[in-house]
Structure 1
Amino acid sequence: MADGGSINEAARQLRLSKSTVSERLTELEYACGTKLLSRNSRQLVLTDDGAAFLERARRIVAETNDAKEDLARRRGDVSGPMRIAVPRAFGDLHLGPILYDFMNRYPEVTVTAEFDDRISDLSSSFDAIVRIAPTPLPKRETEQLTISRRTLVAAPSYLDLYGRPETVGALERHRAIRYMERGPDDWTFKGDLERVVARVSPRLRVTSCFAMRDAAIAGLGIAWLPTFHSYQAIKVGSLEILDIGVDPDVTPVTIAYHHGHGPPKRLRALIDHLKLSFGDPPYWDDQLIVSHGAQLT
């Protein structure tokens, strides 16, 4: 509740009913003999006693987990529970299948994996958070797993009808398929000296990269997509990578975990398994670099 700011969020993360979480909070406050959280109209806020209690409780939990990990290391075990958060589409397409292979290899590991784009990066309830973002998380160790390249793509049918843009400025005359978010309708690219901006006119705005890819394949316009979404369509010719004279957008795919003496053995094993399975370059880019090297490097 301290991390999520509400009983609803705590209930979602704990997979309990709201009433159960509320009852347990009341029982804890009664046992402690003090109020741990104050409630206002919008969220729960830690009291001074609550903040002091939380700090001690986190230390106790951390020490208990360290003791368990020490026993596991002594036995040489890769076992125990993990709770991880993963961006939904990346989890569905890539991390999920690799995770299932990892769990077959290590049958004593149990995993709770939340494939969800709405999870707070600062939530302490996860052992690890997989992110596609340019900056590391504060107060967490971060390791890079691979990279995500984002390129402009369109269907041959669209390009045959409206032409192939060759410059950033030419994009402004084309139809765009945009991820729906706050801010202006533009695409920003890394130029030779500074960022360059194309003001585009979206024909379709959606909140799903799957829908963006499928709309591009249907010929509705140009989409700016990670290659881990578009690589299969590019390989079979349903989409083409556009070369407008700028480098592709490259963002690290990282995994963040709690500070300490390194990740637990089971998490270390998962990180190594993911790195090896993704490859360098990642397997979804491997064949694309061979055939579209100029646009991807």
Structure 2
Amino acid sequence: MKLDGMASFVAVADAGSISEAARLLRLSKSVVSDRLAELERSLGTTLLHRTTRRLSVTEDGAAFLERARRILRDVSDAATELAERRGALAGPMRISAPVTFGRLHLGPALYPFLAANPRIELALDLDDRRVDIASGAHDAVLRHGTIDDSRLMVWRLAPSRRVLVASADYLARHGRPQTTAELDAHKGIFYTNRGVADWRFATPRGGEIVRARVGLRVNNGDMMRDAAVAGLGIALLPLFIAGPDIRAGRLTGVDVGAEAVREFIYLAHPEGRRPSAKLRALAEHLKTAFGDPPYWEEGMN
């Protein structure tokens, strides 16, 4: 049984297709198919159901998948540990992060880190959907918000302040709310990946939940900002998205006498797995690069 066959199987199971797995592995589709066939012959079973329309993991394949992931992870960790014993940060590392934060802030912080550590092979998945870090497909996930999964170990990278914003045109047409109660009469632009369409505030009386009328629900922070600039409603946005538009006058802060519940930028990794030296080094680099308070909040009242 060869490790490259296992790696191909895991990649196909995660990607859902041989062609996508081949692209991620930088191999031809025929090579991946041959490795899968050889693995199935060595195991004496069928791991994948293949049809013209879809590909799925068999019952035997599902049983083998988690062990294959563990074996590949152990081999990678062993190689990484040897490299670290020689004082080098090296080897593969896969991280998931939100699209907007990744594009605006994570990328610029990552590039000098990777340039200084050229032996690290980073795979960065930008996706606004929450990934299951406990599955073992990623070494860590970068998230904005709160961490509720008890299976995760969390490193706080930076605080993240969120503010209500709207365009001057919207406020001229619909009025400027002065209290949280007045938000009920306004249209809201909401982030769908948070579930319910509401805003949560911290007040001297405790937490307060506000549900404005839905003007737009969307799963991307860039589009929320653009919709607010276009005058479609009020949005609750982190300053790492809204800051430049507030400074440029395209968006205006809306003060309702209460601050949104404070959130943070986190790097989380599975509980029970010792984080590699390169992951710890990345976390420290990002904390320094973002700052506390973070640079994107400079000059914001």
TM-score (norm 1): 0.80
Residue of structure 1 equivalent to 2:129? 118
Work out whether 1:8 is the aligned partner of 2:19.
no
Pairwise CA distance, 1:13? 5.9
SS of corresponding position for 1:107: coil
Counterpart selection for 1:57 from 31, 53, 68: 68
Residue identity over aligned pairs, in percent, reads 43
SS of corresponding position for 1:272: helix
Paired with 2:67 and 2:237, the residues of 1 have a C-alpha distance of 45
Number of aligned pairs? 288
Counterpart selection for 2:289 from 251, 260, 277: 277
Pairwise CA distance, 1:276? 0.4
Residue of structure 1 equivalent to 2:3? none
Residue of structure 2 equivalent to 1:233? 245
Pairwise CA distance, 1:107? 2.5
Unpaired runs of 5+ residues, structure 2, are 1-8
**Which amino acid is 2:71 matched to?**
I
- Equivalent residues of 1:121, 1:137 under 8 A apart: no
Counterpart selection for 1:206 from 218, 228, 237: 218
SS of corresponding position for 1:118: coil
Residue of structure 1 equivalent to 2:231? 219
Work out whether 1:81 is the aligned partner of 2:92.
yes
Pairwise CA distance, 1:24? 4.4
Pairwise CA distance, 1:115? 1.1
Summarize the Cα distance change of 1:192–1:48 in structure 2 as closer, same or farther, 3 Å threshold.
Answer: farther
- Equivalent residues of 1:84, 1:113 under 8 A apart: yes
- Equivalent residues of 2:46, 2:60 under 8 A apart: no
Q: CA RMSD in A?
A: 3.4
Paired with 1:11 and 1:133, the residues of 2 have a C-alpha distance of 34
TM-score (norm 2): 0.79
Pairwise CA distance, 1:171? 1.0
Work out whether 1:91 is the aligned partner of 2:91.
no
| Greater Cα shift, 14-23 or 214-223 | 14-23
Please list the CA deviations of residues 105-164 of structure 1 after superposition, one character each: whole Å capped at 9, or x if unmatched.
223323221111236223422222112241254544321112322221112333244322
SS of corresponding position for 2:263: strand
Residue of structure 2 equivalent to 1:242? 254
Paired with 1:161 and 1:280, the residues of 2 have a C-alpha distance of 37
- Equivalent residues of 1:2, 1:45 under 8 A apart: no
Pairwise CA distance, 1:100? 0.9
- Equivalent residues of 1:7, 1:22 under 8 A apart: no
Please list the CA deviations of residues 23-65 of structure 1 after superposition, one character each: whole Å capped at 9, or x if unmatched.
64443232112345689x99846646853x4454344334322
SS of corresponding position for 2:298: helix
- Equivalent residues of 1:128, 1:256 under 8 A apart: yes
- Equivalent residues of 2:92, 2:122 under 8 A apart: yes
Pairwise CA distance, 1:98? 0.6
Pairwise CA distance, 1:185? 4.5
Please list the CA deviations of residues 181-227 of structure 1 after superposition, one character each: whole Å capped at 9, or x if unmatched.
69665434344445433332233443332122123223332111111
Residue of structure 2 equivalent to 1:295? none
Counterpart selection for 2:116 from 105, 123, 126: 105
Work out whether 1:32 is the aligned partner of 2:43.
yes
SS of corresponding position for 1:255: strand
Paired with 1:8 and 1:164, the residues of 2 have a C-alpha distance of 49
- Equivalent residues of 2:199, 2:260 under 8 A apart: no
Residue of structure 1 equivalent to 2:158? 146
SS of corresponding position for 1:27: helix
